[in-house]
Amino acid sequence: MRIVILDGLTTNPGDLSWEPLERLGSLTVFDRTPSAEVAARAADADAILTNKAIVGREQIAALPRLKYVGVLATGTNIVDGEAARERGIPVCNVPEYSTPNVVQATWALVLELTNRVGHHDRTVHEGRWAAGPDFCYWDGDLVELAGRTLGIVGHGRIGRGVAHVARAMGMRVLHHRRQSGGDPGWVDLDTLFRESDVVSLHCPLTPETKGLVDARRLGLMKPTAFLVNTARGPLVDEAALAAALNEGRIAGAALDVLSVEPPPASNPLLAARNCVITPHVAWATPDARRRLIDVAAANLAAFAAGRPQNVVNA
């Protein structure tokens, strides 16, 4: 079996091994692949794996030998699943590999907003403490989370993990998913945005959730509330969020994802007030990336054995 990884650099920049996939066939790994080069690079491939390289209808049509598409991620919006299904090609993802990391990163962002650790560290290294007259100082409000309300949009494994930590910190937890199922703490979206002191996004990007955080929902939030997004950038109307931050209508935001990655310099959030941004790293510990490779290999092995698993376009 000929296997082509279209954009392997972010998954494995050299600190891990591709050996689990090398065992399954002849493996070629490209660091990055523009859309226009997918067809040429994967022309002889039986199986392709992609993280963010787009495999759309056009690319699938240009690959007559293709039998399998693996996604080196959980989200699969970069692959045209319907076009693959029409050809009988399974699209398989890797669920759950990053759950502990994203939970951890979510709380790192929440704590940066509420304790401002990074900001205070920078001021100390700039000499402010050494030059100060007092034994301590702080910039802005430091926020105690105990007794406050966390609203979680999306109540899968990551959302539940974030909720577990919130309860350990003494927070009240509200959550929303498409169907309540009678779950304790379930509320409609408007209630969640209105009552929460921190809103954290953990839902998939779908046509229904694109732009979910728009000007109207931001207008429901408390002026002291924070927004955190470690899910998908297009869940948020970025111009509306930048306006809400700059006008002081919410207290701050922390984002690990943006609508276009890497962002153009014109993205309004890059200059917005009280906006913490990290470069889509919530998933990226070596432990998580090693799990990602192992499960991607297990998915391909299961397909080769006639028992495909983690199929998202069945």
* 10 lies in the same domain as 63: yes
* 185 lies in the same domain as 272: yes
According to the model, what pLDDT value does residue 178 have? Answer: 79
What's the average model confidence in pLDDT over 192-215? 96
Residue 114 falls inside a structural domain = yes
Give the pLDDT band (50/70/90) at residue 184.
confident
Give the pLDDT band (50/70/90) at residue 98.
very high
Task: Give the Cα separation of 264 and 267 in Å (integer).
Answer: 6
* 82 lies in the same domain as 124: no
What's the average model confidence in pLDDT over 162-186? 89
CATH classification of the domain holding 292: 3.40.50.720
Q: Considering the chain, what is the average pLDDT of its residues? A: 96
What's the average model confidence in pLDDT over 276-304? 97
Task: Tell me the H-state helices in the chain.
Answer: 19-22, 38-41, 57-61, 81-86, 99-115, 117-125, 128-131, 157-168, 189-195, 215-220, 238-246, 286-304
Q: Are 271 and 264 in contact (CB under 8 A)?
A: no
Q: Which two tokens stand for residue 248?
A: 């002081």
What's the average model confidence in pLDDT over 147-159? 95
* 217 lies in the same domain as 294: no
Task: Give the Cα separation of 285 and 303 in Å (integer).
Answer: 27
Residue 312 falls inside a structural domain = no
Give the pLDDT band (50/70/90) at residue 181.
low
Catalytic, 202? Answer: no
What's the average model confidence in pLDDT over 241-264? 98
**Which one from 19, 65, 261, 273 is the annotated catalytic residue?**
261
Residue 310 falls inside a structural domain = no
Residue 204 falls inside a structural domain = yes
Which amino acid is located at 106 in the chain?
T
* 131 lies in the same domain as 79: no
* 154 lies in the same domain as 252: yes
Residue position matching structure tokens 């002889």: 44
Q: What is the pLDDT of residues 216-243, one digit of tens each?
A: 999 999 999 999 999 999 999 999 999 9
**Which one from 232, 238, 289, 291 is the annotated catalytic residue?**
232
**Which one from 2, 85, 280, 290 is the annotated catalytic residue?**
280
Catalytic, 232? Answer: yes
According to the model, what pLDDT value does residue 82 have? Answer: 97
Give the range among 171-180, 200-209, 224-233, 264-273 with minimum mean pLDDT.
171-180
Residue 180 falls inside a structural domain = yes
Give the pLDDT band (50/70/90) at residue 158.
very high
* 124 lies in the same domain as 255: yes
* 206 lies in the same domain as 260: yes
What's the average model confidence in pLDDT over 269-274? 97
Whether the per-residue pLDDT at 180 is higher than 80: the answer is no
* 44 lies in the same domain as 136: no
Residue 64 falls inside a structural domain = yes
**Structural domain total, the chain:** 2
Q: What is the pLDDT of residues 38-79, one digit of tens each?
A: 999 999 999 999 999 999 999 999 999 999 999 999 989 899
Residue 189 falls inside a structural domain = yes
* 110 lies in the same domain as 71: no
Give the pLDDT band (50/70/90) at residue 183.
confident
Q: What is the residue range of 54's domain?
A: 2-97+285-304
Q: Which two tokens stand for residue 238?
A: 């970025």
* 129 lies in the same domain as 65: no
Give the range among 35-49, 80-94, 172-186 with minimum mean pLDDT.
172-186
According to the model, what pLDDT value does residue 26 have? Answer: 98
* 76 lies in the same domain as 110: no
According to the model, what pLDDT value does residue 92 have? Answer: 98
Catalytic, 19? Answer: no
Give the pLDDT band (50/70/90) at residue 192.
very high
| C-alpha closest to that of 73 among 304, 278, 257 | 257
